[in-house]
Amino acid sequence: MDIEVMKRQFLEYTEIERGRAVKTIENYDHYLTVFFSHAQIKDTKDITEEKIREFRLWLNRQPGTGKDSMKRKTQNYYLIALRAFLKFLRKRDIEGLSPEKIELAKVPDRSLDLITSTELGRLIHSASGTDERLLRDRAIMELLFSTGLRVSELCALNSDIDLSRDELSVRGKGDKVRVVFISEEAREAIRAYLKSRKDMEEALFVNVPLQRKVDSKTTPTRLTPRSIERLIKTYAAKAGITKKVTPHVLRHSFATDLLSNGADIRSVQQLLGHASINTTQIYTHVTDSQLREVHKRFHGKSKV
């Protein structure tokens, strides 16, 4: 089967039937195109273990950041796209290489950027005040920690949020809807912010001029993920936190707070909106202190 024809059908299938995001489709297209070009694939039967092995060697020798070669995590993106393509061929009963033949490269365990509970408190309280901008930024940080939302999910929220309830439906990755829960602190912060607003914009969080002019006709616009990243960075510096702090760090804090207080990992997976439990496993390090206490209390008691 002509490889370009099958690639187009695969991308259409992934977008329409699998419901993947447009960005994902673009990435798959890029990864497959690079492989087909390098390995000189013209037909589906041209995909062999030997060509994949040669491609992996080539990827591993490509430059990455600095003096290092391409990261293995990045190399795996190409292999994941190729494996998905081979699964599609098998689903269409087209003879070809088995997707199980492709093994992903081992990558180091992901490290987490974390802040302490004391630092988290200083971060949130650094946006104290009655000014609209401060009220907005306090609400943003309270909501991020209360719900574990991704910054893109937070930016998509609208001002018609129902604050009489302690739960909220959000649409996350893969267009999947999940329920998150709002703490009383977050609800009060959002109420105070909305009360201070004078505009009628649909977005929950909008930009606020440093000095609002009386005759200004500038229409507020929805905050972007990048603008929220910048404001979190500013408040981290104001709070005297030298670590890198991003909206995703607050998502990490949300997850580790739940697990360290006894929540089960499956529940945390659902609250975070992770498709795979493997993604949530990165947070299990928070139980290390509990395991250390168990070891201290029970190990070696029978030794004379």
Tally of CB atoms within 10 A around 150: 19
Known catalytic residue at 283: yes
Q: Report in angstroms the alpha-carbon separations of 276 from 90, 265, 267, 285.
A: 23, 11, 12, 17
What tokens does 282 get?
A: 């990165």
Concatenated DSSP letters of 107-118: -PPPP-----HH
Task: Judge whether residue 303 has pLDDT over 60.
Answer: no
Known catalytic residue at 53: no
Concatenated DSSP letters of 8-77: HHHHHHHHHTS---HHHHHHHHHHHHHHHHHHT--BGGG--HHHHHHHHHHHHTSB-STTSB--HHHHHH
Give 158-185 pLDDT, tens digit per residue: 998 899 988 989 988 877 889 999 999 9
Tally of CB atoms within 10 A around 100: 10
- Residue 304 has a pLDDT of 47
Question: Residue 181 is inside which H or E element, if any?
Answer: strand 177-181
The Cα 57–Cα 155 span in angstroms is 41
| Residue tagged 């972007």 (tokens) | 224
Give 43-92 pLDDT, tens digit per residue: 999 999 999 999 999 999 988 776 778 888 899 999 999 999 999 999 99
Mean of pLDDT values over 39-46: 93
Largest separation between any pair of C-alpha atoms in the chain: 84
Known catalytic residue at 173: yes
Catalytic residue among 136, 150, 187, 252: 150
Known catalytic residue at 138: no
Task: Judge whether residue 28 has pLDDT over 50.
Answer: yes
More confident residue, 277 or 206: 206
Known catalytic residue at 171: no
Q: Report in angstroms the alpha-carbon separations of 246 from 203, 214, 253, 289.
A: 21, 34, 11, 25
Catalytic residue among 78, 193, 235, 283: 283
Give 236-259 pLDDT, tens digit per residue: 999 999 989 999 999 999 998 888
Catalytic residue among 133, 173, 197, 233: 173
Cα–Cα–Cα angle for 127, 131, 136, rounded to 5 degrees: 55
Which among 68, 270, 34, 37 is positioned nearest to 170, based on CA atoms? 270
The Cα 125–Cα 148 span in angstroms is 18
Known catalytic residue at 125: no
Q: Are 146 and 190 in contact (CB under 8 A)?
A: no
The Cα 179–Cα 218 span in angstroms is 35
Query: Percentage of residues in the chain with pLDDT exceeding 90?
Result: 59
If you count DSSP H runs as helices and E runs as strands, how many of each does the chain have, helices first? Answer: 13, 2
The Cα 190–Cα 219 span in angstroms is 21
The full set of domains in the chain, from first to last, is 3-101 (1.10.150), 117-291 (1.10.443.10)
Catalytic residue among 7, 20, 136, 251: 251
- Residue 26 has a pLDDT of 95
